[in-house]
Structure 1
Amino acid sequence: MANWEERIRTFWLKAGDADAILSLMQLLVAERHDEDPAALYEWASVQDFLGREAEAIPIYRRALDLGLDHVRRPQALIQLASSLRNVGETTEAIRILEGIGPDATVADAGEAFLALSLFDAGRPGDALRVALKALGKTLPLYRGVVDHYADAIVDSK
């Protein structure tokens, strides 16, 4: 039998209906103790995946408070912020996302979610600036000019 981490990875690769997904994750989470941050994170993730962001938010927070490993922590922060954005708490989402830097797990994904949150917060210029700066990192020829144009964007609040 595969270890728990391998079964979690396999779980996320499989598709299924909501009831099956929820039941299978519930079985996986039940194998761990109640205060296991990884299990809490996975439970929050499945809630989030099923469109139950409001239910996921306090579970993400608890998992983060208990201390997640270096792989799950940045994912949990991004997913928490995304859930907050989806329930209309854009100010808190922005605060969280502005504190996330690139890392080996999420690369610059936080910037994409920050741009979405800024846009939802009525700050389209800031959103475009963040998105262009993220895009600029991938441009071999025009990075400098795109960064320059991004810096010149003025948000009309």
Structure 2
Amino acid sequence: MDWEERIDAVWAEASGEMVGDEVIARIDAIAAERGPGDARAEFERAGARDSAGREAEAVELYRRALELGLDDEHRPQAVIQLASSLRNLGEYDEALALLHRERELSAGGVYGDAVAVVEALVHASAGRPAKGLSVAILALVPHLPRYHRSMTAYAHDIADADT
């Protein structure tokens, strides 16, 4: 198996379970094959810690992976996961800044709805549930068969209800 397949195999075996030290060790061992300067390896190490509830450790590794430069498939994932970890740590402003930048970078990309979902969660966690609901509704509007105009208007109307 190649590197990617071995990483995928570890994640597949861990599916549905709380990630612990064993999964982290396995991911770290595979990641080490690429060395400390590899963005993708750092991303996988971050994800293992994130899945184990070690958000503070994951945040530093996600940042390093992004600094090293991830491809267009993994960069949005890293930003989403980093923002989610920051949300869990109460760093709402930084999480939102990352998500807004990613939305601009990958406008129309496959992770656009995931960015919106995490943004909605950040707003809700920050005590702005109406703003979070507004973001979620706006993300759903393009998927609706009808009612685009009215749902967009409703979403904008409730956005400021938290103030």
What residue is the counterpart of 1:44 in the other structure? 46
Q: Which runs of 4+ in 1 moved over 3 A?
A: 102-105
What residue is the counterpart of 2:151 in the other structure? 146
Number of equivalences = 156
Structure 2: gaps (5+ residues)? none
* Deviation, structure 1 residue 66: 0.7
Question: 2:162 is matched by which residue type in structure 1?
Answer: S
* Deviation, structure 1 residue 78: 0.6
Of all paired residues, the percent bearing the same amino acid is: 44
Higher helix share: 2
What residue is the counterpart of 1:155 in the other structure? 161
Structure 1: gaps (5+ residues)? none
Instruction: Name the TM-score, length of structure 1 as normaliser.
Output: 0.91
- After TM superposition, the structure 1 = structure 2 runs for residues 78-93 of structure 1, keeping only pairs within 5 Å, are 78-93=80-95
* Counterpart Cα distance in 2 of 1:143 and 1:14: 41
Question: 2:121 is matched by which residue type in structure 1?
Answer: L
* Deviation, structure 1 residue 69: 1.0
What residue is the counterpart of 1:65 in the other structure? 67
Instruction: Name the TM-score, length of structure 2 as normaliser.
Output: 0.88
* From 96, 99, 102, the counterpart of 2:98: 96
* Deviation, structure 1 residue 72: 0.7
Change over 3 Å in CA distance of 1:105–1:138 after alignment to 2: closer
Change over 3 Å in CA distance of 1:156–1:20 after alignment to 2: closer
Which secondary structure does the structure 2 equivalent of 1:14 belong to? helix
* Counterpart Cα distance in 1 of 2:54 and 2:108: 27
